[in-house]
């Protein structure tokens, strides 16, 4: 009887533990008081978030990525010509973040970062470069193995005077890296040879996709079935659908996150798709401060079903909660993360009136808590 009760108790503890995940938030530290990277305990049943731990004095870790084994965290340090990339030990159970080392980012203002078991790859916005770093046996960064410099410009003389790499993104099969260049209106597709001993052959240009001139491709996301990908363009709010079949890329649809009655400034930011592939979400900053919800059809095409205020200013990155019952939006300018309830059947968002208040939140990443 005692053993049975103990097993039941352990089962209850296990089920309870699965309701709690870590929410890691990267911030800017030059706008207000911030320690850099914050770890919150997020409850997927209640939508409540409680501060768990934070880094110490990390400069502008605006974008972060966590290793697949949940042991290491990597961040950009977006700081003009003095920009770096940092590696940290990460304790999922305690939320502790311990600095390992950092390297020059090989380009000003890194704004996106990804990693796998071999490399950490960074998009440098102002520098217009992609930098590939190795990992040492302790999870730290080696010197840059490869640096690719983009060239060209666009028709928007204020924003496209030169190349501005805004995102690097693994293809679903991890055989390619897609790189959005806001400054040249191009998406470069690089063959990813992660085991190459010659650093110059880790990323090899395989294809180039052009988008509407002056639109400024910022972020993209693949559909869960890996047949389509969606590109959000910052400068004019265009949202373009492409098919991706056997490596061949074709445009399917050109839509927008701008409604007909909107006349203000546009600043499209982030884009994600639900795990079931049925709904696509995109944020818009500028004068809009909205998040748009699109229904995704079997042919990859989309149509708008909701556009909601983000209840703040400067919606940058956003993320689904681990069970997708919630969606969290980081409002960089109003210094808050707004927690929305998400209906998984309709895709619709409802404000829970819950939020996390902290300085200049930019990037949201969920991980397991152990």
What tens digit of pLDDT does each residue of 87-101 get?
999 999 999 999 999
* pLDDT exceeds 70 at position 115: yes
Q: What are phi and psi of 328, to 5 degrees?
A: -115, 135
302: helix, strand or coil: strand
Domain map (residue ranges) of the chain: 2-368
Counts for the chain of helices (H) and strands (E), in that order: 1, 28
- With a CB cutoff of 8 Å and minimum separation 6, the contacts of 14 are none
| pLDDT over 70 percentage in the chain | 95
| Interior angle at CA 242, CA 236 and CA 247, nearest 5 | 140
pLDDT at 17: 53
CB 182 within 8 A of CB 159: yes
DSSP-assigned letters across all residues of 235-298: TT-EEEEEEEETTEEEEEEEEES--TT--S---EEEEEE-TTSSEEEEEETTTT-EEEEEEE-T
- Sort residue 167 into left (φ over 0), alpha (ψ -120 to 50) or beta: beta
Q: CATH: 2.60.40.10, 2.130.10.10, 3.30.300.30, 1.10.357.10. Which one for 2-368?
A: 2.130.10.10
| Each residue's pLDDT tens digit, 343-368 | 999 999 999 999 999 999 999 999 99
CA separation, residue 9 to residues 18, 50, 85 (Å)? 15, 25, 44
| Each residue's pLDDT tens digit, 158-189 | 999 999 999 999 999 999 999 999 999 999 99
| Each residue's pLDDT tens digit, 27-72 | 999 989 999 999 999 999 999 999 999 999 999 999 999 999 999 9
- Averaged pLDDT score across all residues of the chain: 95
Q: Among candidates 291, 169, 272, 166, which has minimal Cα distance to 224?
A: 272
Mean pLDDT, rounded, for 214-226: 98
Helix (H) or strand (E) holding 55: none
pTM greater than 0.75 (yes/no): yes
pLDDT at 18: 77
CA separation, residue 59 to residues 32, 113, 136, 177, 319 (Å)? 12, 15, 23, 27, 23
- With a CB cutoff of 8 Å and minimum separation 6, the contacts of 48 are 42, 354
- Token pair for residue 321? 């909660």
Q: What are phi and psi of 4, to 5 degrees?
A: -60, -45
* pLDDT exceeds 50 at position 5: no
pLDDT at 30: 94
Q: Which residue has the higher pLDDT, 297 or 246?
A: 297
Mean pLDDT, rounded, for 125-153: 98
* pLDDT exceeds 60 at position 8: no
* pLDDT exceeds 50 at position 1: no
- With a CB cutoff of 8 Å and minimum separation 6, the contacts of 83 are 76, 77, 104, 105, 107, 108, 109, 110, 124, 127
CB 361 within 8 A of CB 334: no
């Amino acid at each position: 009887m005692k053993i049975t009760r103990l097993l039941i108790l352990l089962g209850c503890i296990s089920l309870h533990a699965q309701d709690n995940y870590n929410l890691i938030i990267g911030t800017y530290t030059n706008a207000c008081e911030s320690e850099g990277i914050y770890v919150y305990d997020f409850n997927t049943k209640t939508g409540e978030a409680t501060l768990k731990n934070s880094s110490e004095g990390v400069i502008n870790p605006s974008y972060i990525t966590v290793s697949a084994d949940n042991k290491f965290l990597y961040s950009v340090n977006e700081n003009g010509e003095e920009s770096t990339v940092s590696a940290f030990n990460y304790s999922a159970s305690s939320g502790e973040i311990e600095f390992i080392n950092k390297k020059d980012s090989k380009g000003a203002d890194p704004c996106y970062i990804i990693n796998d078991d071999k490399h950490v790859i960074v998009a440098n916005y102002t520098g217009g470069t992609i930098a590939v770093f190795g990992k040492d046996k302790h999870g730290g960064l080696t010197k840059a193995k490869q640096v690719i410099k983009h060239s060209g410009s666009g028709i928007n003389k204020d924003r496209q005077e030169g190349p501005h790499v805004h995102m690097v993104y693994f293809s679903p099969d991890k055989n390619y890296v897609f790189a959005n260049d806001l400054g040249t209106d191009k998406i470069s597709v690089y063959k990813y040879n992660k085991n190459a001993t010659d650093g110059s052959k880790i990323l090899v240009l395989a294809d180039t996709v052009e988008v509407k001139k002056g639109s400024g491709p910022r972020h993209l996301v693949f559909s869960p079935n890996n047949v389509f990908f969606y590109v959000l363009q910052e400068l004019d709010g265009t949202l373009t659908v492409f098919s991706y079949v056997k490596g061949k890329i074709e445009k399917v649809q050109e839509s927008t996150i701008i409604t007909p009655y909107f006349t203000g400034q546009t600043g499209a930011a982030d884009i994600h798709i639900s795990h079931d592939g049925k709904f696509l979400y995109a944020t818009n900053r500028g004068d809009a401060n909205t998040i748009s919800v699109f229904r995704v059809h079997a042919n990859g095409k989309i149509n708008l079903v909701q556009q909601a205020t983000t209840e703040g200013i400067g919606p940058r990155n956003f993320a689904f909660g681990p069970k997708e019952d919630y969606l969290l939006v980081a409002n960089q300018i109003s210094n808050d993360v707004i927690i929305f309830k998400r209906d998984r059947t309709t895709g619709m968002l409802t404000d829970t009136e819950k939020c996390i208040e902290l300085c200049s939140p930019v990037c949201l990443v969920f991980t397991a808590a152990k």
